[in-house]
Amino acid sequence: MDSARSSAGQPGLTPHKLLIAGGFAVGKTTMVAAISEVRPLLTEEKLTTASVGHDDLRGVPGKTTTTVALDYGRITFASELVLYLFGVPGQERFWFMWDELAYGALGAVVLADVRRLDDSFPSVNYFETRGLPFVIALNCFDGAPRYEPDEVRDALDLDPAVPVVLCDARERGSVKQVLITLIEHVAAQRARAAVVAAPAGR
């Protein structure tokens, strides 16, 4: 099947993906919808032990798969360059999906609510471990106490290079700025990695 699977350097549609991660109800879908057309996606996944205790399986002993609905958005820049934004469900029970979603992603936005900052710990840990560039976007809910980005950086014990920005996930212009910050961060990380990888000879 090698020939059928070959990519052969063929030009054409070149999709790339960004992840929008964060805790429950922090505004991930709102963020995707603010800047792109949201499309529904069903994934039919095996129930793992992570679901035990969450999903009531009494009376359905044979049920071993479950349908998980994800939303994603598409931004088409040119006819062939398309950015896919995948919302990543933050709860631990969905971690089985993260590796697949993260594979080959350019970077991630961790959307955080300052009132529930600990909800973003799993996302931060995951992207740090994977070495995937990410930015923290603090969703400024109406009435939420304001914190300075530096206070949040300390609370999350972030690498100083990781950008922390304020945003309004409902506002297209605000979300656009978050994505620009992310791509600039990816470019900076790339430049840094190139310096590290370069031979030390002079």
Q: Closest approach of Cβ 44 to other proteins, in Å? A: 3
* H or E element at residue 22: strand 14-22
By the rule CB under 8 A, 4 interacts with other proteins: yes
Helices (H) and strands (E) in the chain, counts: 6, 7
d(CA 6, CA 168): 42
By the rule CB under 8 A, 193 interacts with other proteins: yes
Residue closer to other proteins (CB basis): 94 or 141: 94
For the record, the structure tokens of 44 come out as: 């039919």
Longest dimension (CA), the chain: 71
165 has which bridge partners? 137
By the rule CB under 8 A, 77 interacts with other proteins: yes
Applying CB under 8 A, the span of 102-110, 139-147, 149-157, 162-170 interacting with other proteins comes to 102-110
User: In degrees rounded to 5, what are phi and psi of residue 68?
Assistant: -115, 125
Binding mask 7-46 for other proteins (x = CB under 8 A): xx-x-xxxxxx------xx---------x---xxxxxxx-
Cβ burial of 66 (10 Å; 0-12, 13-18, 19+) is middle
8 Å CB contact between 130 and 101: no
Q: Closest approach of Cβ 157 to other proteins, in Å? A: 25
The residue within the footprint of other proteins, chosen from 151, 154, 161, 172 (CB under 8 A), is 172
Instruction: Report the interface residues with other proteins, using CB under 8 A.
Output: 1, 4-8, 10, 12-17, 24-25, 35, 39-45, 54-56, 65, 67-70, 72, 74-75, 77-78, 81, 83-84, 86, 89-91, 94, 100-101, 103-106, 172, 176, 179-180, 183-184, 186-187, 190, 193
